[in-house]
Amino acid sequence: MRPRAVVLVAALLLGCLLGLGSYALYSRLATVPAAEVLSSPPIAGPLAGASASPAPSAVPAASPAPSASAAPAPSASASQAPSPSPSPTPAPYDGPVTRVVPVLMYHRVADPPPGAPYPGLYVSPASFTAQMQALHDAGWRTITAGELGAAMAEGRPVPVRTIVIMFDDGYEDNYTTAFPVLQRFGFRATFSVVARGGSTMMTSSQLAVMVRAGMEIGNHTLDHKNVASLSGPTLVQEIDGGAARIEARLASQDVTLVPTTFVYPSGHVGPAALDLLALLHYTDAFTEVPGFAVIGQTPPLEIPRVRVSRFESLAAFLANLPTEPRP
């Protein structure tokens, strides 16, 4: 357990006596049907592409624990993938802005093997490429989950057609298949990983390559345990221990990163976990509740997402996004 964990355990135990009622302060937000477009002074932000095609409808199946071994994360020796390329400095943005931000939730970018228990969590490489092409052509621009959290903390709107792309668990196909497609379209994404890793998961060197290319690595716990059912030292170990493991893995590759984004395994949220995330100064945490993030309304530690499923058409995929004017 990290040195600060003793203090955190004590704080959590006290929180159990004084703060159980705090969970009522977090109001869940229902799905927002369309984006709220605002007038605002010029802001800086990344810019992207042009016009759309159709896409998939969300299937709210529960997220399973990843099939990762409990052994320490494998070291480097990774499949080849693109080299990081520095992101250009974004031009100042002075167009229309919005407070409504869809957050896409992916797991695997691969075809499911025969008998896969959760085939809906797989999106084929061809479908994923078509979805990213459609987003690019429709003028969507990306920010990371951490950048969304910062905007929410400041109450600051973002350019219209801003979207967050997220991947849960940390499977290796996120690096070998999804990462090159994201780079092709100039998109950035957040990869929330189960920190202990395993033989089917991304290696430390692969994570480091993506960080250097402008991607974000988030915390998805140490072992993908249901944090809503945990308390005390066990909860601290899953959340803070997971962050420590991610930091150490990246440090072994000469990359410094402290996770500020958290994803609840299988979307389970509990009051003790909320209190601990606040104590650890996480800026944003994500559920599996369907809906959009609304800056100024959505609790930043209970952000809903749009699940992307294998069973969606491209038209349904785009229909799941808010209707906004082109930038």
Give domain status of residue 326, yes or no.
no
Give domain status of residue 262, yes or no.
yes
Tokens of 50: 């042009």
Q: For residue 92, what are the CA distances in angstroms to 141, 147, 240, 255, 326?
A: 14, 16, 37, 29, 17
Render pLDDT for 207-259 as a digit per residue (tens, 0 to 9). 999 999 999 999 999 999 999 999 999 999 999 999 999 999 999 999 999 99
Grade residue 160 by pLDDT with cuts at 50, 70 and 90. Answer: very high
What is the overall mean pLDDT for the chain?
82
Grade residue 291 by pLDDT with cuts at 50, 70 and 90. Answer: very high
Give domain status of residue 139, yes or no.
yes
Grade residue 86 by pLDDT with cuts at 50, 70 and 90. Answer: low
Give domain status of residue 301, yes or no.
yes
- In this prediction, what percent of the chain has a pLDDT beyond 90? 69
What integer pLDDT is reported at residue 326 of this predicted model? 79
What integer pLDDT is reported at residue 2 of this predicted model? 59
What integer pLDDT is reported at residue 82 of this predicted model? 53
Give domain status of residue 9, yes or no.
yes
Q: What is the pTM of this model?
A: 0.76
Give domain status of residue 171, yes or no.
yes
Own/partner contacts of 115-121, CB < 8 Å, gap of 24 or more, are 117/64, 118/61, 118/64, 119/310, 120/59, 120/61, 120/309, 120/310, 120/311, 121/61, 121/63, 121/64, 121/309, 121/310
Render pLDDT for 31-65 as a digit per residue (tens, 0 to 9). 343 444 444 444 443 333 333 333 333 333 444 44
CB-CB contact of 178 with 106 (8 Å): yes
β-strands 100-101, 293-294: how paired? Answer: antiparallel
Could you tell me the end-to-end alpha-carbon distance of the chain, in angstroms, rounded to an integer? 48
CB-CB contact of 118 with 24 (8 Å): no
What integer pLDDT is reported at residue 28 of this predicted model? 36
What integer pLDDT is reported at residue 49 of this predicted model? 35
Section 156-166 average pLDDT: 97
The answer on pLDDT for 9 being more than 50 is no
Q: Domain residues for 167?
A: 5-18+49-63+93-319
Render pLDDT for 20-32 as a digit per residue (tens, 0 to 9). 444 333 333 333 4
Q: How many domains does the chain have?
A: 1
Tokens of 189: 């994404």
The answer on pLDDT for 174 being more than 80 is yes
> What strands lie across the sheet with 37-38, from one edge to the other?
37-38, 97-98, 158-159
Give domain status of residue 74, yes or no.
no
The Cα–Cα gap between 259 and 146 comes to 9
Q: Which is higher by pLDDT, 171 or 24?
A: 171
The answer on pLDDT for 194 being more than 60 is yes
Which residues, 6 or more positions from 262, have their beta carbon under 8 angstroms from its beta carbon?
192, 218, 219, 220, 239, 277, 282, 284, 285, 286, 301
The Cα–Cα gap between 15 and 246 comes to 26
Give domain status of residue 26, yes or no.
no
The Cα–Cα gap between 278 and 302 comes to 12
Q: Which is higher by pLDDT, 126 or 75?
A: 126
What is the 8-class DSSP label of residue 141?
E
CB-CB contact of 197 with 72 (8 Å): yes
What integer pLDDT is reported at residue 10 of this predicted model? 52
The answer on pLDDT for 120 being more than 80 is yes
The answer on pLDDT for 191 being more than 50 is yes
The Cα–Cα gap between 242 and 218 comes to 10
CATH number at 315 reads 3.20.20.370
